[in-house]
A and B are shown apart, each in its own frame.
Chain A
């Protein structure tokens, strides 16, 4: 097993032109069963006004890495290492007080389950107004006006009356809109959307994605969009980061990653998307096996137990050596296959299957 702890050889853009820059992020949890390495050597940047899509299975470290950005991990049982810089300011090691000033103000977060993420005891309006009052020092009345304005902006009908409703009086889609209003109330520069559309039905999903895109164009917000739905990624993301077992396995622009994936896991993801024009007789191809346990991750490449192309790599490199994130055919991927092998598998096996 590789014990690579130093920075991975990743060509990264110069810090400074990136709005948020995450370097070698490592998140570990202490649990009763041992130490869970939830995120390892994660590096990414996001520019102002752009959207980064983070894709991966449950437990691949998508949410954990973004909770680390927000500083929401419990320091009692979590170790966060590396570097997270927001507008050049280091967030790791910043005091709770400083983080509180940034949260909800400069950076905000939308959660997957809006019903659970809204307190059942307070009105929607109050929950939207709270961070506005805290961060801008606005009065109750001003904050209420602001809450109504935000509800109108996210498309809640009759915001003047709905502002006094409780979360349980809203429908699922409206709750998600209210969550977005709550996150955007202070015009944050960074919005982390943690699977905001997963719990919604497809038409509402599309509305929410459109809404986020509109708001982004209006305010130039940078968005980190976490999902496992590649269809949504195609709609919203500029760049895509694919995570597997707590590591980035592929990173590049949305077009490159979705149209010319260079990683067996990415191929698996692409093959498992249902397409409306595909023949109904051809079954979808799931990725075999289950996500690995992070308590005891596989040696070498964490994907090797599920990988269909392992035989093509000489020797047992896949089992013994972790592939670095390297440039291959246009974007970064972490796989021992050679660039030529990847390209030929992509063009000869994957793309034909996708267009059949």
Chain B
């Protein structure tokens, strides 16, 4: 296991490097003037010149790239006006006069809480509905669960979100206006503010789990080892939970890992719908403001979290299925 983790960590550094290189050159080797882009809308000729110097645009591209990389690892000095950018230095947003990394760091908790809560919701609801469907196969319950998951799959957050807010916040007054209140500040308020985004976001994810769990459970239940376990006298419930669900879990973990990577790297639509200032919000902002360093930063950060979750999934897979050997 340890060797596997070390190898994967080294491998992901290579992937990250390639990714940074690719995105960096995509942004900086293109004919558009990076300084002009970074300078944003409130640009003055002095500022433009300043940026040109700061970005070392007068130097060859590979030197610029090397500067960026070393900034990521060791930090970067932007001179007297701007000051020292501590590692990891993702650059400087000239439009709001802030370093990129603190902006990501301050927005990330919202995305994190949204992702964790949403993931718990779509995993429990999705898997639960799937199991009910498989258990009562062909029954009314099964059909209801299938219909809900079909509706969930065909709907959109920006449709469902305002609808749910209108109902639960404006009309029924059950919930406060969704917002992110830091967990450390007031856990209950955080929960109440996020419950609607969690649930609405989970709807589009859970339908997939319902269908997968249903078919996986039915497939598992027809396996020989299920019959053999019953022939040993194990009760249906025991066989159901310990044997069938166990077998169905491995593929579910795979999908879950992919989805986790997606939500942790920022759920743009959900964050916009509910006005939660997370990573996705920042990503849209960066494009709007043509804040090239912020764009780059969010991209690298998102990619890193997806890579991290892939490693976790592979490790979890080995724990779940003894036939999988890591190495």
Contact = CB atoms under 8 A, between A and B. Distances in A.
Contacts of A72: 227, 230-231
Interface stretch (B2-10, B59-67, B232-240, B300-308): B232-240
A104 B232 contact: yes
Contacts of B232: 103-104, 108, 130-131, 134, 182-183
Given A116-B225, A117-B225, A70 B322 contact: no
B252 to A, nearest CB: 14
B237 to A, nearest CB: 10
Contacts of A166: 322-323
Given A100-B234, A103-B233, A120 B228 contact: no
Given A121-B322, A168-B322, A116 B234 contact: no
B224 interface: yes
8 contacts: A70-B231, A104-B231, A109-B231, A116-B225, A117-B224, A120-B322, A130-B234, A182-B228
B243 interface: yes
Interface in A105-159: 105, 108-109, 111, 113, 116-121, 130-131, 134-135
B223 interface: yes
Nearest to B222: A74
Contacts of A3: none
Contact of B246 (A100, A111, A116, A121): A121
Contacts of A211: none
A117 B323 contact: no
A102 B235 CA distance: 12
B323 A120 contact: yes
A31 interface: no
B229 interface: yes
A118 B223 CA distance: 10
Interface in B207-230: 223-225, 227-230
A109 B229 CA distance: 10
A119 B236 contact: no
Interface in A33-86: 67, 70, 72
A101 interface: yes
A120 to B, nearest CB: 6
A291 to B, nearest CB: 22
Contact of B228 (A101, A117, A121, A168): A117
Interface of B: 223-225, 227-236, 243, 246-247, 320-323
A116 B230 contact: no
A152 B31 CA distance: 76
A127 to B, nearest CB: 8
Contacts of A111: 224, 227-228, 231
* Majority SS at the chain B contact face: helix
A119 B227 contact: no
Nearest to A131: B232
Contacts of B227: 67, 72, 111, 117
A168 B322 CA distance: 9
Interface of A: 67, 70, 72, 96, 100-105, 108-109, 111, 113, 116-121, 130-131, 134-135, 166, 168, 179, 182-183
B124 to A, nearest CB: 22
Given A111-B231, A134-B232, 7 more contacts: A103-B230, A105-B233, A117-B224, A130-B229, A135-B233, A182-B232, A183-B232
A226 to B, nearest CB: 14
Which of B224, B227, B231, B247 lies at the interface centre, i.e. has the most chain A CB atoms within 10 A of its CB?
B231
Contacts of A121: 243, 246-247, 320-322
B233 A100 contact: yes
A119 B245 CA distance: 12
Nearest to A109: B231
Contacts of A67: 227
Contact of A131 (B233, B322, B323): B233
B12 to A, nearest CB: 28
Contacts of B223: 116
Nearest to A105: B233
Given A120-B321, A121-B247, A101 B233 contact: yes
B303 to A, nearest CB: 33
A66 to B, nearest CB: 10
A134 B234 contact: yes
Contacts of B224: 111, 113, 116-117
B246 A108 contact: no
Which of B224, B235, B243, B323 lies at the interface centre, i.e. has the most chain A CB atoms within 10 A of its CB?
B224
Nearest 8 CB-CB pairings of A with B: A104-B233, A116-B224, A104-B232, A103-B233, A117-B228, A131-B232, A109-B231, A119-B225
A119 B243 contact: yes
Contacts of A135: 233
